Amino acid sequence: MVLSAADKTNVKGIFSKIGGHGEEYGAETLDRMFTVYPQTKTYFPHFDVHHGSAQIKAHGKKVVAALVEAVNHIDDIAGALSKLSDLHAQKLRVDPVNFKLLGQCFLVVVGIHHPSALTPEVHASLDKFLCAVATVLTAKYR
């Protein structure tokens, strides 16, 4: 899956709208993921996963910051997320299927906060981008 020039423009555009809401949207994404896909909580036995927990806020902020990093280096996502890729392969080992679940929840959050910005074209580009990030994060698994 290759990101076209239009995809990159669309992704940068939607992320500029997300702007300073990274922590808020990150927390909401995780909150939804834990609620909608309870099996994802198995990766966070050490967390307080209740709505609005400080740990969810902190972790949500981290997740969106990583996505922003990928956007800022959209021509070399593998390079930008190389350390995170190592972490996921060696330590976290989150089953690849879960990245889709996180991606779905992130799209829902973007759709809720920026419905008119999430046009079908932007939706397609963002979905592709999230797939590309997931591919990078699972690339060194085996």
Partner 1 sequence: MVHWTAEEKQHITSLWSKVNVADCGAEALARLLIVYPWTQRFFSSFGNLSSATAVIGNPQVRAHGKKVLTSFGEAVKNLDSIKATFAHLSELHCDKLHVDPENFRLLGDILIIVLASHFAKEFTPECQAAWQKLVGAVAHALARKYH
Least distance (Å) between residue 130 CB and partner 1: 11
Q: What is the DSSP string of 11-80?
A: HHHHHHHHGGGHHHHHHHHHHHHHHH-GGGGGG-TTS--STT-HHHHHHHHHHHHHHHHHHHTTT-HHHH
Given a contact cutoff of 8 angstroms between Cβ atoms, the answer to whether 60 and 25 are in contact is: yes
Which residue of 90, 112, 140, 141 would you call a contact of partner 1, by CB under 8 A?
A: 112
53 binds partner 1 (CB under 8 A): no
Which residue of 36, 54, 65, 92 would you call a contact of partner 1, by CB under 8 A?
A: 36
115 binds partner 1 (CB under 8 A): yes
Amino acid at 65: A
52 binds partner 1 (CB under 8 A): no
49 binds partner 1 (CB under 8 A): no
Which residue of 43, 127, 135, 139 would you call a contact of partner 1, by CB under 8 A?
A: 127
124 binds partner 1 (CB under 8 A): yes
Binders of partner 1: how many residues, by CB under 8 A?
Answer: 22
Amino acid at 93: R
> Running DSSP on this structure, what letter comes out for residue 141?
-
50 binds partner 1 (CB under 8 A): no
Q: How far is it, in rounded angstroms, from Cα 126 to Cα 142?
A: 26
